[in-house]
């Protein structure tokens, strides 16, 4: 789902580039050519959508699989890897899922 972060963000404390990036992160097609007032207005009026992210089904399966077998596989993984796939970028989740697909799906 695409929603603003749960943390409170004081938009007045952000510079213009940060405002543009935040707009783009939530799906607003903003550019640096927009005046600051328009960026702030767009973020203040933004309503998050309830559209399910299609990657979440893979994220969920992969996370559950990792949690089930974490005691066995954690010593074989890089130190930065954890079983919480919701902390990873979409591309990383898809690559990991694809690499382990047969094991996860029980083939």
Task: Provide DSSP, 47-98.
Answer: ----PPPTTHHHHHHHHHHHHHHHHHHGGGS-TT--S-GGGS-HHHHHHHHH
pTM of whole model > 0.85? Answer: no
Residues 6+ apart with CB under 8 A from 39: 16, 19, 20, 23, 30
Q: Are 34 and 73 found together in one domain?
A: no
- Same domain, yes or no: 91 and 65: yes
Which of helix, strand or coil describes residue 43?
helix
> Do residues 16 and 46 share a domain?
yes
More confident residue, 67 or 8: 67
The domain total for the chain is 2
pLDDT digits (tens, 9 = 90+) for 66-85: 888 888 887 877 766 677 78
| Domain span at 21 | 1-51
Same domain, 8 and 42: yes
């Amino acid at each position: 789902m695409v929603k603003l972060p749960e943390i409170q963000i004081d938009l007045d404390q952000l510079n213009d580039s940060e405002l543009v990036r935040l707009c783009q992160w939530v799906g607003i097609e903003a550019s640096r050519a927009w005046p600051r007032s328009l960026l702030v207005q767009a973020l203040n009026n933004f309503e998050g959508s309830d559209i399910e992210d299609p990657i979440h089904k893979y994220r969920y399966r992969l996370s559950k699989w990792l949690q089930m077998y974490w005691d066995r596989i954690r010593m074989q993984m890089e130190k930065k890897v954890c079983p919480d796939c919701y902390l990873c970028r979409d591309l990383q989740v898809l690559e990991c899922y694809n690499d382990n697909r047969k094991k996860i799906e029980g083939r």
